[in-house]
Amino acid sequence: MNTEWAKWMLIIILCSISTLLTYYFHGILKTSTVFTHFYYIPIILSALWWQRKGLIIAIILCLTLLIGHLVYGPTYLLSPYDNYIRIMIFLSVSGFVCFLSEKIEKSRSALQSQKEQLEVVVQERTKELRQKVDDLSQAREAVFQSEVQVRKIIEASPVGIQIIQNGRNVFCNTKFIEIFGYQSENEIIGKPVQTLFEPPYADLLRTINDEGEAGQTIPRSYEITALKRSGMAFDVAVWLSIIDYNGVRSILCFVVDISLEKKMRNQIMQSQKMESIGTLAGGIAHKFNNALMLITGSTDLIAYGFSPDDPVHKHINRIVSAVQQMVDLNNLLLAYARKGQIRTQRTPLNPLIQETIALLNQNQIQCSIQTDLAENLPDVLIDTAQIQTLLTAILKNAMEATQEKGTITIRTYPKTIDSETTGKNADTVAGDYIGLKVEDTGSGMTAGILEHIFEPFYTTHFYGRGLGMAAVYGIVKEHKGWIDVQSQPGKGTTVTIHLPVIS
């Protein structure tokens, strides 16, 4: 409202100035000349501001000019055309400006309408976009939370998870790092997958990886030998699946350390095999024992038929000696089969070990035998003769494998076996034990020999030997204990026996 009054005031002032100019030129100066350029200002402004209504201002100014000329113009009858021409120009300019102003106003109105429509559209579109942005934000947050949950599940998984891409490790979870003995994923990510497995399996993994990336069918699961960071080999089971990881075809691997399960499975199979062999050996030993008794009785009867000085006794004595050797061998078979007679008594283990060492043939001992026997050990319930047979067999094997400058160490110690340990060994029962460990610095054995060490008559020496460790196995089992043998070529052998203490 104030703006409109300001416009009217400005037009009135301009029109007043125009009237005064007309009066000045026609009334005072008595000339037909009028400073008409000033008239265009209110004419154009009024036409711009009020369009057709602005023509009123142009008409008023035209009438002012005409009246002034008629009243004061002395040369009006002689030269009436100057003001007429000015009046026509005024009206023409006002009409033209009105036309332009209306066009501009219409255009402005159209633009304003379009602007309003666009604003409405923009507001609606903005609302839609904001809704979409909110939806996307919620979806992104949901995806993020889902990824966090999946990541937590993956990290908490008891199974090692690995992703292979272009032959290299691009992802692994915490369990995978733990299985392979690394400290962080940075030590694994980016490395070729073959670095985690033994060389014989490298070509297999490379082939599987190439076939998987080429879209071919790959094995879903297999067992291979992996390598820890320390270089130690261990068995793993691997399950494979093809996935799209970051837009690239990849292989998803689930890895489980099965070395303990495989060890227990082998122990169970070995125990079953030894049980079967023991049953066979026990049956043979009983039959053999009956035959030996018949031979011994017949030999005694033959000896009664000859005088003591008769040369035939020399041959009879050879038969008796051979029979006694076979009796000893038969006793070993019965010990292995756990079908012999066992006479247990409460016995301290350390003195029995010292006595057994003293009974060894000193001429056969070419190495150093050392003892590290724990004091105040509880007694064990054992058959002393069988335990001496056990220890003698182990020491003889150790002496044969140890050079002159080698050392055999015998240790005893108390040991408590808990449920966790029993879960790692199929032959153990939780409880208190006395540990007997015999270590030598000899030549050691390969893994292939260790697999058969407790089998009867299996030997790496020569024909006719090999019942010693088989009997050791049977004696330990008969005493409710368990035995373990560890050895590596060139690094010696360690035989560990645990015997239960008297409860």
* Of 279, 339, 338, residue with least CA distance to 475: 338
Same domain for 239 and 284, yes or no, is no
Asked if residue 80 has pLDDT above 60, the reply is: no
Same domain for 176 and 66, yes or no, is no
Residue 459 lies in a domain: yes
Average pLDDT value for residue range 203-208: 68
Average pLDDT value for residue range 304-309: 73
Residue 401 lies in a domain: yes
Same domain for 456 and 398, yes or no, is yes
Same domain for 379 and 482, yes or no, is yes
Beta-bridge partner residues of 224: 236
Residue 126 lies in a domain: no
pLDDT above 70 coverage of the chain, percent: 77
Residue 307 lies in a domain: yes
* Of 87, 20, 11, residue with least CA distance to 46: 11
User: What CATH code is carried by the domain that includes residue 382?
Assistant: 3.30.565.10
Asked if residue 323 has pLDDT above 80, the reply is: no
What is the residue whose two structure tokens read 């509880």? 378
Residue 307's domain comprises 263-337
* Of 358, 404, 383, 401, residue with least CA distance to 471: 383
Same domain for 295 and 407, yes or no, is no
To the nearest whole number, what is the mean pLDDT of the chain? 77
Same domain for 291 and 246, yes or no, is no
Total structural domains within the chain: 4
Rounded Cα distance, 446 and 7, in Å: 114
Burial of 221 (0-12, 13-18, 19+ CB in 10 A): exposed
- Per-residue pLDDT band for 329 (boundaries 50, 70, 90) equals low
Residue 143 lies in a domain: no
Asked if residue 61 has pLDDT above 60, the reply is: yes
Same domain for 210 and 226, yes or no, is yes
Average pLDDT value for residue range 466-489: 80
End-of-domain residue from the set 237, 257, 277: 257
User: In which element (H, E) is residue 411 found?
Assistant: strand 407-417
Residue 129 lies in a domain: no
CA distances from 423 to 25, 263, 427, 429 (A): 127, 11, 9, 9
Residue 237 lies in a domain: yes
Q: Dump pLDDT digits (tens) for 399-434.
A: 888 876 788 899 999 988 776 665 455 556 778 888
Residue 145 lies in a domain: no
Same domain for 111 and 9, yes or no, is yes
Residue type, 356: T
Same domain for 356 and 493, yes or no, is yes
- Give the global pTM: 0.47
Same domain for 253 and 267, yes or no, is no
End-of-domain residue from the set 241, 257, 273: 257
What pLDDT score was predicted for residue 416?
86
